[in-house]
Each structure stands twice: as structure tokens, then as C-alpha cells.
């Protein structure tokens, strides 16, 4: 039996804060591949997280989006209807859109193609923004930064950003409607592709190659899609990949044994994906380290915030003796946020520009 079909959870929160939701969590085995179990487990996880927030945190935006995601999860089925195409065209005039915005394309007839991968944050946060920010729902986070700081979209051109004019763009963002059927195991963070039609990394590779054949491929990705983007880099023979605050491994034992945040932790998210998609991982796909060693012609640049404790386990897993794997840390600035979000600073300081300079 799959490990995902027979799981018993134990309380792992702060002393003295055990709740009625923890008791329900411990009362039976859970099948994460079952839609009803997945939905109830997500609800319990959210309620436990809210219950363990300090008093001021219970009135925070974080608590608000968790509560809205519980109450309004059925809205996920039609979430794309909330997106304003007028806003889309305002930001990116002339951009080609495929699969209702899952893939964006700017064809400049260049020999280089930059693949910009966004994991779209957490689907619950996106769902909670429907009422107040619906026009932003399907604007790719990474692509949006590129449009603001990278000489793209309708912003005035700036010669210092001209490096990006030497690239075609392919923006990739997973369809979060799939989370309606299983809010625990979806989105797949690209291991299961990006939607029901392009449902694997291999199919995504084929789509990009068909759209831009005989191109040189380069990749920009972050966080939960860091490891899967590195797998894509191998499969598409990318020249370079820039990873921001990435997860680094699908070593299920490591992720399980080093999970200190229970259901709310990044390790739980990646542990469940490591089990669900175990059939697609060859031996050398266990980590970014092993992919780098297997593919010495791919130049891999990784950046984390110097104080990023959220990604500590993934930082610790990295090896520092691999020639084509370069690991650096960003000091805090006015442009960094929560000791984790650094992409705006990496654009502002031209670090990303320098990496992709032809």
C-alpha cells in the first residue's frame, strides 16, 4: 500500500496548545489520495495553524486567507473566470496566452529562450484574494516582476534591462484549479506538469521545444518549483538555471525525519510530492546536487536570504564541492521580505541580469 494511503498523524505543535482539531487528526488513519480525506485534512491543518497563532495573529491576513480557503474552496473550480483579461493585456500587450494563461509567450525571434517558472504561491492565498484583488489572480508572480523590472510589458524601456530583450519568453504557472480535487497533493509543483493536458515535465518540455525549436534554453524559477525546474533543465538541455530560495531534494526519508512544523511545513509538502511522483524520479533526481553532478554542462546558480530559516533543511542538503553549482546568500535590504522573498532585490541589484547576460 502506498504510504500516502495509510498515515497516522500525531500532535506536533507547541506544548499546551493541543486543540479539538488535533484530536480529530489523531483519531484515525488518513488516505491522502482520497479527495474527501484530503479536503478534511486541509481544513484541520488550517484550523490548527490558526489556533496556534498568537492573539494578534488570529486577526492577520494569514488567518484571513486560511479561513477563506476553508469556506470558499468550491470557488477554485471557476477561479480563472475571476481573472481580468483587460488587466492581463494592460500588463503584457501582445503577449500570447495558452491554456487560459497557464503558459505565456513572447516570441522575439531570438535564438535564446528564457523559461520563467512560477509556482503561484499558495492556492489558498490566491483564493482569498478573489474578492479584493481578482485581476491579479493569474498574473504569474515571477513574470510580473520581470514585466516591472525587466523591460517587459507596457513599462518604459530602460537600457540597463536590455539583456532580457535578447530572449524569447515562456512563462509557466501551474493551474491551481486542480487543488479542488485534492488540496493536499495539489498543486504538483510541476512534477505532475501544469494542467490536465500538459500533465508531466516531459510534456512541458515537448511543448516548449515545439514552440521554440532549435533554441538555447535558460530557466528562472523559485521556491517549491526549484527542484522540478532543475529536472526540466536536464530534460530540455538548458544552458543555465537561476533558482531563488529553492527546495533542493525529494529524499523522502530526509524530508520526513527533518519535518519540525508538521502539516504546515515545507517538508510535509515536498514529502507528499516525493511519494506521489516517486515513479518519475531516476536515482540521480534525488536532489539538485545529484542532477548537477550528472549534468556538468548546466550552470546552476542558487540564491537564498542569509537568514532564511524556513528553507534551512533544503539549504543544509546542498553540497558545496560541485563545479557547476554555485550557492550564494543575499543580505537583508529594504527590498527583501520576511527573510525569504528576495527576487525584487536580485533584479534591483542586477544579479539576475548579470547571470543571463548573453
Q: Is the pLDDT of residue 14 over 80?
A: no
Distance CA 6, CA 208 (A): 38
What is residue 17's predicted lDDT score, i.e. its pLDDT?
74
Edge-to-edge strand list for the sheet holding 112-118 = 96-98, 103-106, 167-173, 112-118, 216-222, 240-244, 299-305, 325-330
Show the cell assigned to 48: 490548527
Three-state DSSP state, 171: strand
| 197-242 residue pLDDT tens | 999 999 999 999 999 999 999 999 999 999 999 999 999 999 999 9
pLDDT tens per residue across span 87-125: 666 766 777 889 988 898 989 999 999 999 987 667 777
Angle at 124 between CA 196 and CA 79, to 5 degrees: 50
- Percentage of the chain beyond pLDDT 90 is 50
Would you list the DSSP string of 275-292?
HHTGGG--GGGGBHHHHH
Region 320-327 average pLDDT: 98
pLDDT at 87: 65
- What single-letter DSSP state applies at residue 116? E
For residues 166 and 168, give the distance between their C-alpha atoms in angstroms, rounded to a whole number. 7
The pLDDT of residue 137: 46
Which of 160-164, 190-194, 199-203, 207-211 bottoms out in mean pLDDT, i.e. has the lowest?
160-164
Task: State yes or no: pLDDT of 152 exceeds 60.
Answer: no
Cell of 71: 469556506
Interval 144-163 mean pLDDT: 55
Look over the chain and give the mean of its residue pLDDT values, rounded to a whole number: 86
Tell me the pLDDT tens digit for each residue of 58-91: 888 778 878 888 888 888 888 777 666 666 667 6
The arithmetic mean of pLDDT across residues 304-316, rounded, is 95
pLDDT given at position 228: 97
Give mean pLDDT, residues 266-274. Answer: 91
Angle (CA) 302 308 311, round 5°: 70
Instruction: Quickly state the pLDDT bin for 156 (edges 50, 70, 90).
Output: very low
Helices 201-211 and 226-236 meet at what angle, rounded to 10?
50
Kind and range of the H or E run holding 222:
strand 216-222
Query: Does 165 score more than 60 pLDDT?
Result: yes
pLDDT at 218: 97
The Cα 289–Cα 282 span in angstroms is: 14
Grid coordinates representing 149 are: 523590472
pLDDT at 153 over 50: no
φ, ψ at 7 (rounded to 5°): -125, 135
| Residue from 101, 130, 134, 106 nearest 118 by CA | 101
Average pLDDT over residues 262-268: 83
Query: Bridge partners of 242?
Result: 220, 301
- At 30, phi and psi to the nearest 5? -125, 140
Q: What domains are defined for the chain? A: 1-71 (no CATH), 79-356 (3.40.50)
Query: Which tens digit of pLDDT belongs to each residue from 16-41?
Result: 678 888 889 889 999 999 999 999 99
Amino acid at each position: 500500500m502506498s504510504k500516502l494511503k495509510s498515515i497516522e498523524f500525531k500532535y506536533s505543535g507547541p506544548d499546551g496548545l493541543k486543540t479539538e482539531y488535533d484530536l480529530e487528526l489523531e483519531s484515525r488513519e488518513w488516505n491522502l489520495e482520497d479527495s474527501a480525506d484530503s479536503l478534511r485534512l486541509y481544513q484541520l491543518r488550517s484550523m490548527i495553524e490558526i489556533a496556534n497563532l498568537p492573539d494578534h495573529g488570529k486577526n492577520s491576513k494569514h488567518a484571513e486567507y486560511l479561513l477563506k480557503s476553508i469556506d470558499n474552496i468550491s470557488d477554485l473550480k471557476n477561479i480563472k473566470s475571476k481573472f481580468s483579461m483587460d488587466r492581463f493585456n494592460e500588463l503584457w500587450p501582445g503577449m500570447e496566452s495558452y491554456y487560459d494563461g497557464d503558459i505565456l509567450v513572447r516570441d522575439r525571434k531570438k535564438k535564446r529562450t528564457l523559461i520563467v517558472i512560477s509556482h503561484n504561491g499558495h492556492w489558498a492565498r490566491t483564493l482569498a484574494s478573489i474578492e479584493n484583488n481578482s485581476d491579479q489572480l493569474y498574473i504569474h508572480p515571477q513574470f510580473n516582476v520581470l514585466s516591472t523590472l525587466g523591460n517587459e510589458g507596457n513599462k518604459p524601456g530602460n537600457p540597463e534591462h536590455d539583456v532580457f530583450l535578447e530572449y524569447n519568453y515562456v512563462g509557466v504557472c501551474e493551474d491551481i484549479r486542480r487543488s479542488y480535487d485534492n488540496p493536499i497533493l495539489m498543486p504538483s509543483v510541476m512534477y505532475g506538469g501544469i494542467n490536465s493536458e500538459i500533465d508531466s515535465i516531459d510534456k512541458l518540455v515537448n511543448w516548449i521545444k515545439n514552440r521554440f525549436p532549435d533554441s538555447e534554453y535558460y530557466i528562472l524559477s523559485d521556491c517549491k518549483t526549484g527542484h522540478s525546474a532543475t529536472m526540466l533543465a536536464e530534460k530540455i538541455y538548458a544552458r543555465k538555471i537561476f533558482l531563488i530560495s529553492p527546495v533542493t531534494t525529494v529524499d523522502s526519508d530526509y524530508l520526513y525525519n527533518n519535518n519540525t512544523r508538521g502539516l504546515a511545513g515545507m517538508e510535509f509538502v515536498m514529502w507528499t510530492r516525493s511519494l506521489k511522483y516517486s515513479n518519475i524520479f531516476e536515482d540521480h533526481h534525488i536532489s539538485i546536487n545529484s542532477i548537477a553532478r550528472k549534468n556538468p554542462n548546466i550552470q546552476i546558480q542558487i540564491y537564498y536570504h542569509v537568514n532564511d530559516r524556513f528553507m534551512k533543511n533544503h539549504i543544509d542538503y546542498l553540497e558545496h564541492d560541485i563545479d557547476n553549482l554555485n550557492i550564494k546568500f543575499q543580505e537583508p535590504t529594504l527590498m527583501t521580505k520576511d527573510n525569504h522573498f528576495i527576487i525584487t532585490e536580485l533584479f534591483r541589484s542586477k544579479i539576475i541580469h548579470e547571470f543571463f547576460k548573453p
